[in-house]
Amino acid sequence: MRRVITYGTFDMLHYGHINLLKRARDLGDYLIVALSTDEFNLLSKNKKTYFSYEKRKQLLEAIRYVDLVIPENAWDQKVSDIKLYQIDTFVMGDDWTGQFDFISEETDAEVVYLERTPEISTTQIKEDLNAENLATEHESKIQ
């Protein structure tokens, strides 16, 4: 059995996330998602999530491509996770290209960077919603 792992926050889940998870699963037989905890996001990434860890975990567990969701508590847990879960392939989006190459040197896992779905991102969704809210707010002030 080929085991694959990926890491992320997966807040405001969208079809770009689903595409990434499907393509990650296509690289093996069993997909583990290490989901960033609320504390890790806040303290290490300076990012507050909209949905709690438990809600994001529940969403990921409902996706047929995902076999197991584990917590990501620290940047440096990747190598130990790969060894613990006997991972064959470590997958991240291509916006991380090169940043995890050391994993293939410290473990037997292959490192793969998958192209993101180009027309969608959580950041873009937030920006678009913010712009729409500002425009609506401006229009209501004019009337």
Catalytic residue list: 45, 47
Query: Residue 20's CB: how many other CB atoms inside 10 A?
Result: 22
Query: Which residues are CB-neighbours of 33 under 8 A, at least 6 positions away?
Result: 5, 6, 7, 8, 10, 21, 60, 66, 68, 69, 70
